[in-house]
Copies of this chain bind each other. A is one copy, B any other.
């Protein structure tokens, strides 16, 4: 069955800082009409930072929609100028949020968080060979240039512990689940766990 929907008209609802909202009238495959409420988002990048010592670096961040702090891998919003270079955004977010650079980045593919109503695509990467510039002690992870409204704690946990937490339902963040589980099934942890 051909299941395409055709845009008939577009009503702008909101033009904000991180999202635009519009409500479109569409023609359905059967010729009837329906509405689609759409969140436009510029997309994002997430990075799974894997240390040489069997740890993953997470950030603990207050997530206002849930009124609590949750654990996630480092991530950020793609600026318009970065749309065609998500890896640069990933390198920047990793450094800004954790203080780490990485020698190697491996693409883990794309992640559509809510394809029913939002245009956001998250580009996922695994980062290996982590290092801190000019540091005498690699346990130092100075955060750099966080956004003005961004506050977070950096937390280092063993890969085995994070897998246990994900399988036990203790890490609800979707991109973190996908990036960690995909790395596990792809064998990226096989030399460390």
Given contacts A5-B62, A29-B62, A109-B168, 17 further A-B contacts (CB under 8 A): A3-B151, A13-B16, A17-B35, A18-B116, A19-B39, A21-B21, A34-B149, A40-B65, A65-B116, A66-B112, A111-B172, A114-B118, A115-B172, A174-B178, A177-B181, A181-B184, A184-B185
Among B36, B107, B113, the residue within 8 A (CB) of A64 is B36
Chain A 1-57 interface residues, beta-carbon cutoff 8 Å to B: 1, 3-5, 13-14, 16-19, 21, 23-24, 26, 28-30, 32, 34-40
- The interface residues of chain A, by DSSP majority, are classed as mixed
A64 touches B39 (CB 8 A): no
How many residues of chain A are within 8 Å of chain B by beta carbon?
71
Chain A 115-172 interface residues, beta-carbon cutoff 8 Å to B: 115-122, 148-149, 151-153, 163, 166-169, 172
